[in-house]
Amino acid sequence: MLKLTLLGTGAAGGVPLYGCECPACERATKQPAFERKPCSAMVEWGRSSSQERLIIDAGLMDLHARFPAGTYKGFLLTHFHVDHVQGFFHMRWGKAESIPVWCPDDPKGCADLLKHPGCLRFLPEMKHGETMTINGLRVTPLEMRHSRPTFGFLLEYGTRSIAYLTDTDGLPANTMEFLLFQKKLNAIVLDCSFPPYREADNHGDIENAKRIYDALHPDELIITHIGHELDSWLMENDVPDWLEIGREGMTI
């Protein structure tokens, strides 16, 4: 069994965006099911009697409450932007045993996390295209196109495969080439922050997502890191039949 659960699907400002009165933010204010928290996920694998768990990114501020010490193997960190690491700042001072955090080699880190990691053990050992195995789960880091060193992840267990690809404006050529030579992907979870025809910066839009879908033909393409502008656009337009809109709690 390989399962990915989306814990957060929002862009950095989240939905509702502070002070915004657009249709998407108004809806999310009135209906909590449409809120979007910091982009993050949980991957679980193995037999039901011995399931393993990793958390992808640490933007949620209640990680310490959601996942008590010892209930997961560690973290896969895409990059060190604050909306992906802010949950670490509280939990690092805990009394838990050392928690591995596989991460890009980015000496800047975020604030003083690398200088004072507490119970977190940062492991900047990942290389693009080099698969590592964590208790049977095959994890291949893949370079993303972003303003800081950033990795997406190809997750494989048994015959199942899911590519989790955020934060990125399209895909770099080396990552696209790598994925083209893989067997058919069961699912891609992809950064798509903006509506079509918007000049994207650091993040993808609907047009980018369509190009990636057409090139890789996954069984499913689910968008994440969604901003309030895209949510508003999706409220007013038909959802293309080739994509699914990510939501908190969605499982793949």
The tens digit of pLDDT for each residue in 209-234 reads 999 999 999 999 999 999 999 999 99
> Residue 113 pLDDT > 80, yes or no?
yes
Which whole number is the average pLDDT over 104-129?
Answer: 97
In terms of DSSP H, where are the helices of 43-168?
A: 63-66, 82-85, 88-91
Which whole number is the average pLDDT over 14-20?
Answer: 97
pTM here?
A: 0.96
| Sheet-wide strand order for 220-224 | 132-134, 137-143, 151-157, 160-165, 187-191, 220-224, 244-245
Q: How far apart are CA 104 and CA 126, in angstroms?
A: 6
What letter would DSSP give residue 184?
P
47-51, 84-88, 177-181: range with lowest mean pLDDT: 47-51
Quick one: pLDDT at residue 173? 97
User: Which residues have a Cβ under 8 Å from the Cβ of 242 and sit 6 or more positions away?
Assistant: 210, 213, 221
Q: What is the pLDDT of residues 25-62, one digit of tens each?
A: 999 999 999 999 999 999 999 987 678 999 999 999 99
Quick one: pLDDT at residue 49? 60
Q: How far apart are CA 129 and CA 131, in angstroms?
A: 6
Asked if 193 and 205 touch (Cβ cutoff 8 Å), the reply is: yes
Which whole number is the average pLDDT over 90-115?
Answer: 96
> Residue 182 pLDDT > 90, yes or no?
no
Cis before 16 (ω within 30) = yes
- Residue ranges of domains in the chain, CATH in brackets: 2-245 (3.60.15.10)
| Confidence label for 145 from pLDDT (cuts 50, 70 and 90) | very high
Phi, psi of 143 (to 5 degrees): -65, 140
Which whole number is the average pLDDT over 123-139?
Answer: 96
Quick one: pLDDT at residue 201? 76
Quick one: pLDDT at residue 250? 98
15-29, 44-58, 71-85, 235-249: range with lowest mean pLDDT: 44-58
Q: Which two tokens stand for residue 164?
A: 């989790």
pLDDT above 70 covers what percent of the chain?
A: 99
Asked if 161 and 183 touch (Cβ cutoff 8 Å), the reply is: yes
Quick one: pLDDT at residue 198? 74
Quick one: pLDDT at residue 139? 98
Q: Which residue has the higher pLDDT, 41 or 196?
A: 41
Half-sphere exposure (Cβ direction) of 95: Cα atoms closer than 13 Å = 0
In angstroms, what is the C-alpha Rg of the chain? 17
What letter would DSSP give residue 31?
-
Q: Beta 187-191 vs 220-224: how paired, if at all?
A: parallel
Quick one: pLDDT at residue 202? 87
| Confidence label for 183 from pLDDT (cuts 50, 70 and 90) | confident
Which whole number is the average pLDDT over 126-144?
Answer: 97
| Confidence label for 200 from pLDDT (cuts 50, 70 and 90) | low
According to DSSP, the residues that pair with 152 across neighbouring strands are 142
Give the chain's end-to-end CA distance (angstroms, integer). Answer: 11
Q: How far apart are CA 183 and CA 108, in angstroms?
A: 36
Quick one: pLDDT at residue 51? 86
Q: What is the mean pLDDT of the chain?
A: 95
